[in-house]
């Protein structure tokens, strides 16, 4: 008596076939998964990300933000008696190395001329500088993407007008334009200041997006969508922008780093954040004469400016490598 026939299991899936043939499991990954994998394995980017997160948490949790209180018991506007010449009480050298132990003390970053706690002042400066930088990055990214996408897709007279306007904006020194706008709108608050600075920092991204769109508009999928009667707005938003989102994200990240330095320069020159508020650049400007006698008033804001700018640049470098399809290996 013959055995019953075993049912045909059907075709072996591609992943299983690879496992059977080569003795290994082939795991399919989406584009987003590959981008995350490359980014998280980029050591400089992860170091920058960790440093930036720590700085943000320190700045916004220590002295609080808006109506939310912080864990630090001093504010940035109260005047007190200057103790020990306003020297910092922060100590990071343990006793076994000959130091006084690791502790914050009453005034970790010291005090200014009138007795204000300099740690609270510096944290306030970090808050304001970061807020302005992110607003500038957001506004510049939106404007640059809109102008670049419009010019690259429609070409012709629209492209000529938009690109000539962009060329004119590029020829004007950015710091001069930002200083004029900062002088005019600096008293209106950091949100308005960030908006007006963002209005003049979009030119580089606009040219970059235009170049990408000039290449994409000749692709088959764009021609097919156009032949099917799809509107220009839908083609731009649904078909073309997703293909350059990596370029835009990287450019936006680097724009934030540049905005940190631009805000510091403006505030140092007196065209940025105005009294009674403060920022990192304004702190350096205010206490630049104390560099030789009380250098800590100059050091701490400068260290935070450098740390933020480097962190954001490292993140941008990691994002650029992660989004680059030509990256066949993960950089350390």
pLDDT at position 28, please?
Answer: 66
Tokens standing for residue 41:
């394995």
**Domains plus CATH for the chain?**
54-64+113-323 (1.10.3720.10)
pLDDT at position 17, please?
Answer: 41
The mean predicted confidence, pLDDT, of the chain is: 84
Confidence of residue 185 (pLDDT cuts 50, 70, 90): confident
Q: Is the pLDDT of residue 190 over 80?
A: yes
| Stretch 244-267: mean pLDDT | 89
pLDDT at position 98, please?
Answer: 65
pLDDT at position 271, please?
Answer: 86
Helix 190-198 / helix 118-154 crossing angle, nearest 10 deg:
30
C-alpha angle 13-18-22 in degrees, rounded to nearest 5: 155
Tokens standing for residue 228:
């099917």
Q: Is the pLDDT of residue 15 over 60?
A: no
Buried b (16+ CB within 10 A) or exposed e, 268-297: bbbbbbbeebbbbbbbbbbbeeeeeebebb
Alpha carbon of 132 to those of 69, 127, 263: distances in Å? 21, 9, 7
pLDDT at position 135, please?
Answer: 93
């Amino acid at each position: 008596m013959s055995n019953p026939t075993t049912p045909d299991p059907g075709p072996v899936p591609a992943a299983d076939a690879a496992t059977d043939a080569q003795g290994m499991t082939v795991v399919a990954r989406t584009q987003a998964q590959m981008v995350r994998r490359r980014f998280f394995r980029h050591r400089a980017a992860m170091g920058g990300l960790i440093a930036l997160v720590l700085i943000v948490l320190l700045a916004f949790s220590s002295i609080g933000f808006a109506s939310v209180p912080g864990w630090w018991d001093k504010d940035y506007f109260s005047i007190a008696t200057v103790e020990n010449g306003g020297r910092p009480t922060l100590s990071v050298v343990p006793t076994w190395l000959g130091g006084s132990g690791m502790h914050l003390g009453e005034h970790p970053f010291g005090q200014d001329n009138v007795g204000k706690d300099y740690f609270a002042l510096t944290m306030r400066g970090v808050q304001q500088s970061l807020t302005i930088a992110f607003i500038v990055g957001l506004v510049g990214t939106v404007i640059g993407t809109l102008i670049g996408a419009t010019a690259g897709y429609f070409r012709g007279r629209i492209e000529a007008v938009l690109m000539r306007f962009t060329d004119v904006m590029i020829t004007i020194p950015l710091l001069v334009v930002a200083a004029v706008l900062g002088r005019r709108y600096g008293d209106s608050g950091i949100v308005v200041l960030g908006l007006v600075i963002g209005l003049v920092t979009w030119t580089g991204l606009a040219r970059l997006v235009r170049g990408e769109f000039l290449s994409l508009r000749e692709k088959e999928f764009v021609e097919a969508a156009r032949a099917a009667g799809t509107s220009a707005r839908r083609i731009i938003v649904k078909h073309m922008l997703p293909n350059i989102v990596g370029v835009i994200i990287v450019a936006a990240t680097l724009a934030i780093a540049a905005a940190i330095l631009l805000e510091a320069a403006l505030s140092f020159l007196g065209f940025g954040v105005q009294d009674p508020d403060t920022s990192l650049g304004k702190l350096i400007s205010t206490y630049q004469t104390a560099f030789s006698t009380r250098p800590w008033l100059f050091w701490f804001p400068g260290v935070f400016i450098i740390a933020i700018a480097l962190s954001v640049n490292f993140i941008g470098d990691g994002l650029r490598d992660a989004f680059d399809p030509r990256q066949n290996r993960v950089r350390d």
